Structure 1
């Protein structure tokens, strides 16, 4: 189990070849599609048009829209709440728990200013600072702090109404699955929305 690890650490598919017939041209081939694409009828074979052959090579995904890189904004509510609790405990002379909770609050406050979750086209990666520097190797389980969405088994927010922890399990680190926990020091709504989009739905409802 990797507890808050950053805080302590297709082949291309080839589409069938298709040919373009100028818009409005007649053809005797019944298997031509009637879909209009750039003012051309798309067919699956070479088609005789005005005494010549016209062909267009295409590949799946060439015109597919790429997903944007998403970086949820930092959120300081959890560190502030922890520091407030620590202050209240210190006021009541409960110094040991106050010091423990206060140190945790300070740690999360610092990390909220520097740790970034970067959601790119194919993976979630943990980076550092506004310059998005590499976070290095995961100190608990090894390997880079980057996990492909296709390897996510499941994920959850605890708790959706006021997210404190995000949990996810992936099979990239090890086949039987690796669990990760991270404190939610990011905008919970932004984080939830991009997780749903990139990693699929969670069993929990979204944060309000």
Structure 2
């Protein structure tokens, strides 16, 4: 009989144990192992904390990947010699017909653009258009007409145009970085017109003109 009561006493919790089990079942003891099995509240807290840390890590990783995905590659349109060649051809034709007065300025302009085509580059990086020179893409210095660096953020562009799309001759754009009321720029298109148009649409938004053919 005493042996039976002793066995039952192993399974019946004491009053002290009852007071400890209020809330989330308390600390349960095994009649076989005599040690703590679990504390549901502690486990739940630890689980929630782990979940929170997991979400934080996921958010940080997603944020970093998002920034990397948004970064655009640098684009440099290829040089295009069509305009200087056309101007030099016109100058040659004028000279051949003894029209030397118009032939000289046209020929000089053709030579200037031919020289500029070999050295000037439009560099479209992740956030701005910049004019650089030479094979090493050196700084072009200050703008000789309006001052300031020859670098303009896409976010400052108000409008831009490509004249004429089928045989692009000039690119025009207006930006508010140089001065708040807006500054207009014109450049002869001595670059691949299709490449120039595509990257301008991508970085600065659509133009009113149609794509070059």
TM range (shorter): 0.7 to 0.9
**2:156 paired with 1:151:** yes
Structure 1: unaligned runs, 5 residues or longer: 1-46
Matching residue of 1:69: 74
CA distance in 2, matches of 1:199, 1:184: 17
Pairwise CA distance, 1:87:
0.2
**1:197 and 2:202 correspond:** yes
Over 3 Å counting, the alpha-carbon distance change for 1:63 and 1:79 in structure 2 is same
Q: 1:140 deviation in Å?
A: 1.0
Distance 1:100 1:134 in 2: 29
Whole-Å separation in 1 of the counterparts to 2:165 and 2:135: 27
Matches within 5 A, 1:41-120: 50=47, 52-53=49-50, 54-55=52-53, 56-57=56-57, 58=59, 61-64=63-66, 65=69, 66-120=71-125
SS in 2 for 1:50: helix
Greater share of residues in helix:
2
**Residues 102 and 67 of structure 1: is their aligned pair in 2 closer, same or farther, counting only changes over 3 Å?**
same
Identify the structure with bigger relative contact order (alpha carbons < 8 Å, sequence gap 6+).
Answer: 1
Deviations 1:67-123 (A, max 9, x none): 100000000000000000000000000001000000000000000000000000000
How far the C-alpha of 1:49 sits from its partner, in A, is 6.5
| Residues 51 and 73 (structure 1), Cα distance of their counterparts in 2 relative to 1, 3 Å cut | closer
Instruction: Give the secondary structure class of the aligned counterpart of 2:65.
Output: coil
Over alpha carbons, which structure has the higher Rg? 2
Deviating above 6 A after TM superposition, structure 1's stretches of 4 or more consecutive aligned residues are none
Distance 1:50 1:77 in 2: 69
Q: Which is richer in strand? A: 1
Number of equivalenced pairs = 162
**Structure 2: gaps spanning 5 or more residues:** 1-43
Structure 2 length as normaliser, TM-score? Answer: 0.73
**Secondary structure of 1:186's aligned partner:** coil
Q: Are residues 50 and 172 of structure 1, via their aligned partners in 2, closer, same or farther at CA, if it must alter by over 3 Å?
A: same
Compute the displacement of 1:48 (Å): 5.5
Instruction: Tell me, yes or no, if structure 1 residue 138 matches structure 2 residue 143.
Output: yes
Report how far residue 136 of structure 1 moved.
0.3
1:177 aligned to which of 164, 176, 182: 182
Give the CA RMSD over aligned residues: 1.6
Q: TM-score, normalised by structure 1?
A: 0.74
**How far does residue 61 in structure 1 lie from its aligned partner after superposition?**
4.8
